[in-house]
Copies of this chain bind each other. A is one copy, B any other.
Amino acid sequence: MTTDAASPTRIGRTRNIDRAARSAARGPAQLAFSVGHYSMPPLMPLSGDAIEAIHQASLTILEEIGIDLMSPAMREIAARCSADVRPGEERVRFGRAVVEHYIGLAPERFTIVGRGPGRDLQIGGENVVFGCVSSAPNCSGLGQDRHAGTFEDFRNFVKIGHGLNAINFFGGYPVEPVDLPASIRHLDCLREFALLTDKVFHPYCLGRQRIEDALEMMCILRGLTREQLRDVPSMYTVVNTSSPLRIEGAMLEGMIEMARARQPICITPFTLAGAMAPVTLAGSLAQQNAEALCGIVLTQMIEPGTPVLYGAYTSNVDMKTGAPAMGTPEYFRCVIASGQLARRYGIPYRSSGGNASTSADAQSIYETTFALWGAVLGHANLVMHAAGWLEGGLCASFEKLVVDAEILQGLAECFRPIEVNVAELALDAIRDVGPGGHFFGTPHTLERYQTAFYMPLVSDWQNYGNWVVAGKQDAMARASVIARHLIDTHQPQQLDPGIIDALDDFVARRKEEGGIVES
């Protein structure tokens, strides 16, 4: 199944069913790949005063408490840019004016250029894009119980994610291929991303060298020089803070390389209320905001104008066990509030799907749905882990990736406006059918029935008797068939053989050098 049709938008605009692709591969019905646009205003539960109070609290945190930046190189840059850096201390403080100045340099919107036609991701404003599950150490499904991820699993997830139009991009590796040594894993995985999909993918921000390798490979893949790449944002990475109020050296050093190459960076505090952040949501949001602003400021200190996202992942822990909870009401409320904060700064907003269920059960679905409704009602611009997550990110599920794609398609369709005009009001049809009739065979119906309604990917509406005769497949069983189909029918991307050779040469050389040796 190919999904490279340039196409109109979702989340409340016209629908474009990917018919050509569908008939070509006899795959499942899907909406066409597209960047979504919000057609209704976001929820805004926090007053302007409340937003301002959170903002001021985070400025106080940055000014008075400070943040530990565990990279001498980053502290040096910060010191040159008027941050309060003290000799022999990792703690760095930022005056209010310094924060306000650098925040103001971040762009309001930007485009991550995809390799394939129509794969560009417009980030910011009313746009929204959804990404595949990332970074799970384990996976389950396709007949296998939960197990540590392998390179084969990684490849299968990429194939499915490539085939699902609802997936706009890949975050990190959908599942960690733990059968590959950590020192060279990024080389093999980035090569596979390049060969298996033309959608945007993402390198991990774990030290200077991994980012440097990713930049080189991206230049080979796109046929760009490093100087040219600066004008073509082609991938993005995520810098997670180590809450509370600390950023690891490897994250910061990767960030320096990404910003110098002017590739987009998403700053995401992982602020679990009650554990790494205060037990109160306002306190967690204040701390999240301080950490996010700090990271955003740093990107602009490295290179003004670097594309950056305001990431938020504030949820709560189960106070009985300390276990992280996701897709909870608290999570939802913070997702909505974080959208208000990001928009205050005019910086694109990143949110996430997520759930903490140990299996692809009802809990995993309702928690994921709550998280995704939060992202959409809070006007997130980029939604990571939007499909396929389980266990708070410790497991990726093949089947749930497909089911969640259905949820994403449904969400987009929910916001399509209802057209109201004479033809749509159908008074003539109602008159013709009259009391007690039916509309099945009327011209008004026949002219429209093929495209009138959303066609589901996974949902099955047949009656119970037919369902029993058809083998009693539940939604996960049907998703499994679709996942397997997408793997089996996946076509390698059409890359110039010279590019593949150059990528292979690069990977071989870097493996000979031992891959990552810096830490």
Contact = CB atoms under 8 A, between A and B. Distances in A.
A75 to B, nearest CB: 14
A430 B61 contact: yes
Interface string A424-441: 111101110111111110
Contacts of A277: 439
Nearest to A286: B425
Interface in A365-396: 365-367, 369-370, 373-374, 377, 391, 394-395
Contact of A333 (B278, B391, B414): B414
Contacts of A373: 369, 373
A244 B437 contact: yes
Nearest to A49: B420
Given A245-B435, A286-B430, A424-B283, A365 B358 contact: no
A281 interface: yes
Interface in A416-456: 416-421, 423-427, 429-431, 433-440, 444-445, 448-450, 452-454, 456
Given A417-B45, A418-B285, A439 B363 contact: no
Contacts of A43: 40
A65 interface: yes
Interface string A468-499: 00001011100100000000000000000000
A383 B8 CA distance: 35
Given A66-B435, A449-B279, A333 B421 contact: no
Contacts of A366: 365, 369, 403, 406-407, 410
Nearest to A330: B453
B460 A357 contact: yes
Given A53-B425, A65-B434, A362-B365, A439 B275 contact: yes
Contacts of A316: 452-453
28 contacts: A65-B430, A65-B435, A66-B435, A244-B437, A274-B445, A275-B438, A279-B426, A280-B423, A280-B424, A280-B426, A280-B452, A282-B418, A282-B424, A318-B462, A322-B440, A328-B454, A329-B414, A329-B416, A358-B467, A359-B472, A362-B475, A362-B479, A363-B458, A363-B460, A364-B475, A366-B410, A369-B373, A370-B410
Interface residues of A, number: 126
Contacts of A464: 146, 358, 391, 394-395
A332 interface: yes
A519 interface: no
Nearest to A325: B461
Nearest to A54: B420
Given A280-B424, A358-B467, A394-B463, 15 more contacts: A53-B420, A244-B436, A276-B439, A278-B429, A278-B430, A280-B452, A283-B429, A286-B430, A318-B462, A322-B440, A358-B464, A358-B472, A361-B476, A370-B414, A394-B464
A236 to B, nearest CB: 26
A326 to B, nearest CB: 8
A278 B439 contact: yes
A7 interface: no
Contacts of A64: 431
Nearest to A417: B45
A46 B421 CA distance: 12
Nearest to A291: B435
A459 B363 contact: yes
Interface string A112-136: 0000000000000000000000000
Contacts of A453: 273-274, 316, 318-319, 325, 328, 330
B242 A436 contact: yes
A237 interface: no
From A407, A417, A430, A449, residue with most partner B Cβ within 10 Å = A430
A312 B475 CA distance: 28
A211 B365 CA distance: 41
Given A45-B40, A46-B418, A418-B46, A476 B430 contact: no
A81 B242 CA distance: 72
A52 to B, nearest CB: 9
A144 to B, nearest CB: 15
Contact of A449 (B319, B357, B410): B319
A151 B418 CA distance: 43
Nearest to A331: B414
A57 interface: yes
Contacts of A249: none
